[in-house]
Every structure is written in C-alpha cells, then in structure tokens.
Amino acid sequence: MMEDLVRRALEEDIGSGDVTSEACIPASQRAAGRFIAREPLIISGLELLPLMYDSREILKRDGDHCLEGEVIATVAGPARRLLALERTALNFLQHLSGVATMARQFADAAAGTTCRVLDTRKTTPGLRELEKRAAAAGGVTNHRMGLFDAILIKNNHITAAGGVRNALERSREKRLPVEIEVRTREELREALQAGAEHLLLDNLTPAEARDWIREIAGRAKVELSGGITLDTIRAYAETGADFVSSGAITHSARAMDISFRLELV
C-alpha cells in the first residue's frame, strides 16, 4: 500500500520528467541532501524515505521531538534524482509531522487525567493509514480505522434502524465492538437499559457532559466528541469521560516547516 502511494505521488509530480533538473544539471553530478527541522515539531512519515531513496541515513524515529535546526535524515545519490524527489518527500514529512505535532498537543492537554484522546475518520482520502500512524506517533489513540472494524451507531443509523434498542440488538449479531451515540436523556436511558457498553455523547458542554456521566455512573464507557479543540479539551477530559475525540488532529493540522538542503559531492 505504501509503495503504491509513493509511486502515485511521484508520478503525479514528476510526470514525464523533471525538465528543470534535466536542463540545468549534468546526469553524472552526484549530491547529498539533509532534511532539517525549521521549527520544533514531532516528526512522522520517516517510513516513507526508504521507499524513495536508495542511500539514506534516518537520524530520528517517528514520534521523536525535533528542535529547530536539527537534521532529521540525510540522503545521497544523483543530484537530478534528489531534486526530483524533494517536493514529494517534503510534502509527506511536513503534513504527517503536522498531524503528529497536533496529536502531541492534544495528548499533552489531557495529560494527568484518566481520559484518553482519540483520533477520527476525518482524514485525507487515501492517506488515512499514514495519518492514523502519525496521530499515534504523536501520542493519541487510534479510533476505528474505517467502517469495517468496529460498529459506531450514530444518529442517522438510529433513525434508519427505528430506534436505539433496534439498532443495538441488530448490531450484536456482528460480534464486533459496539458504540452508540445518544442525543437525549431518553436515548441515554434506553441505551443503558438495552445493555449498551460504550456511549458517544456529542456536542455537550463540559458541564452537561459531567452531568450525563454522573447519571451513567460507570455502567458504560463514555466518549465525548463534537467541536473539541485544544482550548477546550482539558475541560472535557476532566469530566470523567473515558475518551475524548477530535477530528482537528487530522483535518486541521498545519504542515510543519521542514527544509531540504542539497550539497554537491
């Protein structure tokens, strides 16, 4: 999967050839290059470098903290080839390090509570596995990978199934982990009476969440979601919830500043 992703990314950028490097640089010219952090960050995406470079030395591991000016990895080879790979390699590293850095900020914000931070399926199409790995490298817990590995009954499922009890009872036939979203106190009580073991509470304030969790009283695991940000996650993590999830970890992470410096050899 990773090999195919890298291949398609390179084909997208290089196409029929890097005409600038071919025009300017002799085919025999060799070079070395360094990937350098230009700001503090949590690095991720290093597993892709061996799929792109035959000669490389990776100096960090995914999840490591990099200081401004630190060298992350070095590569060597024909100068034309290094320049053709530069943008694609940086795109991967910058984006995935952004996810990992954002994840670390969320994890740090909830540190010291009993609440674990989860990522979501709000990922870039085609990059979910990489973004999930980056989120884990940053210190959060991966939620389900897709629609196939766990059951999450949300409001539209409840509507289509004809109610909370119907949705729960039918879901048990799959013998997979089951989580159900409840929107009202009536749905909450119906879910608990039907034996729900994992509840999703969406779009509550921290005070409301604390009140609902008090009523749940440990009868089910609780996840909180809905617009949770770095500014608010601590308040949600302190409500007594088991999990807090945020799509911002993947869909709102900015690319980190990483540069590539080439030297002739």
What's the confidence (pLDDT) of residue 252? 96
Active site residue 202: yes
Annotated active-site residue in 181, 187, 190, 223:
181
Q: How far is CA 225 from CA 60, 66, 166, 203, 247, in A?
A: 33, 30, 23, 6, 9
pLDDT at 158 over 90: yes
**pLDDT tier at 228 (50, 70, 90 boundaries)?**
very high
Annotated active-site residue in 38, 56, 122, 165:
122
Going along the chain from its start, the domains and CATH numbers come out as: 2-105+254-264 (3.90.1170.20), 107-251 (3.20.20.70)
Q: For residue range 23-46, what is the model confidence (pLDDT) as tens digits?
A: 999 999 999 999 999 999 999 999
pLDDT at 1 over 90: no
Q: Average of pLDDT values for 68-94?
A: 98
Sign for the pseudo-dihedral over CA of 23, 29, 33, 38: negative
**Mean residue pLDDT across the chain:** 97
Q: Average of pLDDT values for 70-97?
A: 98
Annotated active-site residue in 202, 238, 242, 257:
202
Active site residue 181: yes
Percent of the chain with pLDDT over 70: 100
Active site residue 221: no
Active site residue 60: no
Q: For residue range 106-137, what is the model confidence (pLDDT) as tens digits?
A: 999 999 999 999 999 999 999 999 999 999 99
**pLDDT tier at 96 (50, 70, 90 boundaries)?**
very high
What's the confidence (pLDDT) of residue 148? 95
Q: Average of pLDDT values for 130-146?
A: 97
Annotated active-site residue in 87, 189, 210, 234:
87
What's the confidence (pLDDT) of residue 250? 97
What's the confidence (pLDDT) of residue 265? 93
Active site residue 211: no
Annotated active-site residue in 154, 189, 210, 221:
154
